[in-house]
């Protein structure tokens, strides 16, 4: 059940919406004008606000502004019989979710309300999940309302309280360790230890002794028995980060741990039982590594019981404003966070972000330090963010009312596809040309138009 405020100076419209929404199980409050709505907004919190725009005295735009100040999480739908493109754009800029013109069909308004409430529900779940684990897992950086991130959050909730091994994949900087922590701290093992091992940071011999422990005299410098990290993680979770960096010899021993739930210390003769949940992560495609012969196929399938794939930041650009806001607060040093202009946000949203969220965090920290005054404008954004590489996403075939510039649109689409092909092939132009069905010569000719300014 959701709490909904309906604001309209027409009694028939108020009654129609109130009856429809109550039948669907929602709690509804009706206000006959903008002034009454403002009083209610100050004392109560609503999931959804449906308001007419044209009303005597306080109009719907003023109601929208107030609710976004007092209760920014409230989703707002605007209704009017006097639709203009200008008012629609203004309402959206002020934070309205959608805009409907009278007269409308019942199914139309019902669908818009359903979508608006779904958005509100997702926001609530996102906030609750972050709050549940932020204090214990450092998960507050893990922000996103995009569909891609909602799928990740949903998977975390589903798999957290199981015993299954999880393989987390994604580019560097996407937050793989944050996912692992989220899984652990939302599981029944959250009272136990969470142990992280960076498999790519240690040489094979040292990694083996760190994972399994060792007995005195096992090697030079082993002056006493030492417990390994698998033992240290008993009752909790062990996170094997960058698992693809392990050698085939060590992979055999890891396979045994997963299959038998036991291992032997380096230099030891006794099997030790292991009671830790195993989570693993890789920024490489492990199936590709299997085909190369650098990663064991049987270990891959043991790890990949439940896969969670993290999207690159460029694939969830709609989350960038949220992340920017968070990092501005993080680096404000307790002061009022600096404001960032829409032009600057636009440049950030169009950047390719090869370093993902980690790169964005570093960029915002640098901007906060170097930008004078209390605002960050487009002039503060690094020059390499302003080149052709900042390409827009592919557009739909819809033609806006004000028309469009076809040549410019086609040029942007070409840029977009050329750079995406290069990105997908790691910069190999011959492969990128094949992806686009072009000869290498044609691809190179097209690229020359844009490379001079990148």
Instruction: List the domain boundaries for the chain.
Output: 3-121, 146-309, 313-385, 406-451
CATH topology of domain 3-121: Rossmann fold (3.40.50)
User: How much is the pLDDT for 296?
Assistant: 95
User: How much is the pLDDT for 432?
Assistant: 84
Find out whether 149 and 316 touch, Cβ atoms under 8 Å: yes
Using the structure block, give the residue that is written with the tokens 């992979």.
Answer: 251
Q: Are strands 75-80 and 166-169 parallel, antiparallel or unpaired?
A: unpaired
| Number of C-beta neighbours around residue 94 at 10 A | 15
How does 337-375 read in b/e, with b if 16+ C-beta sit within 10 Å? Answer: bbebeeebbebbbbbbbebbbbbbbebbeebbeebeeee
Please say whether the structural domain 313-385 has been given the CATH code 3.10.20.90. no
Rounded to the nearest 5 degrees, what angle is found at the Cα of 320, between the Cα atoms of 447 and 51?
120
- Residues making up the chain, counted from first to last: 454
| Cis previous bond, 242, omega within 30 | no
Same topology, domains 3-121 and 146-309? Answer is yes
In the DSSP assignment, the letter for residue 105 is -
| Cα–Cα distance, 26 to 346 (Å, whole number) | 38
Find out whether 320 and 313 touch, Cβ atoms under 8 Å: yes
> 379 exposed, middle or buried (CB, 10 Å; 0-12, 13-18, 19+)?
exposed
Rounded to the nearest 5 degrees, what angle is found at the Cα of 176, between the Cα atoms of 170 and 177?
160
Backbone φ, ψ for residue 365 (5° rounding): -60, -45
Find out whether 313 and 357 touch, Cβ atoms under 8 Å: yes
Token digits of residue 190: 């959250």
User: How much is the pLDDT for 362?
Assistant: 93
| Cα–Cα distance, 4 to 174 (Å, whole number) | 36
Find out whether 116 and 77 touch, Cβ atoms under 8 Å: yes
Find out whether 173 and 312 touch, Cβ atoms under 8 Å: no
| Cα–Cα distance, 210 to 253 (Å, whole number) | 13
pLDDT in tens, the chain (454 residues): 788 999 999 999 999 999 999 999 899 999 999 999 999 887 777 889 999 988 989 999 999 998 888 788 889 999 877 666 677 778 888 889 988 888 888 888 999 999 999 888 776 666 545 544 443 444 445 688 888 898 999 899 899 989 999 999 999 899 999 999 999 988 889 888 899 999 988 888 899 999 998 887 888 888 877 888 998 898 999 999 999 999 999 999 999 999 999 999 898 888 888 899 999 999 999 999 999 999 999 999 999 999 999 999 999 999 999 999 999 999 988 889 999 998 899 889 888 898 899 999 999 999 999 988 899 998 998 877 765 444 444 445 566 666 767 777 788 788 888 888 887 787 788 888 888 888 888 888 888 877 654 4
Q: In CATH, what is the architecture of 406-451? A: Orthogonal Bundle (1.10)
Q: 146-309, which class in CATH?
A: alpha beta
Alpha helices in 94-202 (DSSP H): 106-137, 147-159, 176-185
Give the CA radius of gyration of the chain: 27
Find out whether 21 and 28 touch, Cβ atoms under 8 Å: yes
Token digits of residue 184: 């652990």
Q: pTM of this prediction? A: 0.58
> 402 exposed, middle or buried (CB, 10 Å; 0-12, 13-18, 19+)?
exposed
Find out whether 237 and 180 touch, Cβ atoms under 8 Å: yes
User: How much is the pLDDT for 136?
Assistant: 46
User: How much is the pLDDT for 88?
Assistant: 73
Half-sphere exposure of 428 (CA within 13 A, CB side): 7
Give, in order, the Cα–Cα distances in Å from 425 to each of 87, 141, 266, 291.
Answer: 44, 30, 42, 18
- Beta-bridge partner residues of 271: 264
């Amino acid at each position: 059940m959701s709490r909904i405020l309906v604001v309209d100076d027409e009694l028939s419209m108020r009654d129609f919406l109130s009856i429809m929404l109550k039948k669907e199980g929602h709690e509804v409050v009706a206000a006959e004008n903008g002034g009454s709505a403002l009083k209610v907004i100050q004392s109560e919190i609503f999931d959804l606000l449906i308001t007419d725009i044209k009303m005597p005295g306080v109009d719907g735009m003023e109601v929208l502004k107030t609710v976004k100040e007092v209760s920014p999480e409230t989703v707002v739908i605007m209704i009017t019989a006097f639709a203009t493109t200008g008012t629609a754009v203004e309402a959206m800029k002020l934070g309205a979710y959608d805009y409907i013109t009278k007269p409308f069909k019942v199914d139309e308004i019902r669908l818009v309300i359903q979508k608006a409430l779904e958005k509100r529900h997702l926001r609530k779940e996102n906030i609750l999940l972050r709050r549940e684990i932020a204090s214990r897992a450092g998960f507050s950086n893990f922000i996103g309302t995009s569909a891609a991130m909602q799928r990740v959050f949903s998977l975390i909730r589903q798999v957290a309280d199981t015993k299954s091994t999880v393989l987390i994949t994604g580019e560097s900087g996407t937050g793989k360790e944050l996912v692992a922590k989220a899984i652990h701290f939302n599981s029944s093992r959250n009272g136990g230890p969470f142990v992280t091992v960076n498999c790519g940071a240690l040489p094979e011999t040292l990694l083996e002794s760190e994972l399994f422990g060792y007995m005195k005299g096992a090697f030079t410098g082993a002056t006493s028995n030492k417990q390994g990290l698998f033992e240290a993680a008993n009752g909790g979770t062990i996170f094997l980060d960058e698992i693809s960096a392990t050698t085939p010899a060590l992979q055999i021993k890891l396979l045994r741990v997963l299959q038998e739930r036991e291992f032997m210390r380096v230099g030891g003769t006794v099997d030790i039982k292991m009671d830790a949940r195993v989570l693993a992560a890789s920024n490489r495609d492990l199936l590709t590594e299997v085909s190369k012969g650098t990663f064991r196929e049987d270990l891959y399938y043991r790890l990949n019981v439940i896969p969670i794939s993290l999207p690159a930041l460029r694939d969830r650009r709609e989350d960038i404003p949220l992340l920017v806001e968070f990092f501005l607060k993080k680096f404000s040093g307790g002061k009022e966070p600096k404001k960032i202009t829409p032009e600057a946000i636009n440049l950030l949203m169009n950047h390719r972000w090869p370093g993902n969220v980690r790169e964005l965090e570093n960029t915002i920290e640098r901007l906060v330090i170097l930008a004078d005054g209390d605002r960050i404008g487009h002039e503060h954004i690094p020059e390499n963010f302003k080149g052709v590489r900042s390409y827009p996403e592919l557009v739909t075939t819809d033609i806006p009312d004000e028309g469009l510039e076809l040549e410019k649109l086609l040029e942007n689409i070409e840029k977009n596809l050329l750079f995406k092909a290069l990105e997908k092939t790691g910069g190999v132009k011959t492969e990128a040309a094949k992806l686009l069905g072009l000869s290498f010569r044609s691809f190179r000719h097209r690229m020359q138009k844009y490379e001079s300014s990148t």
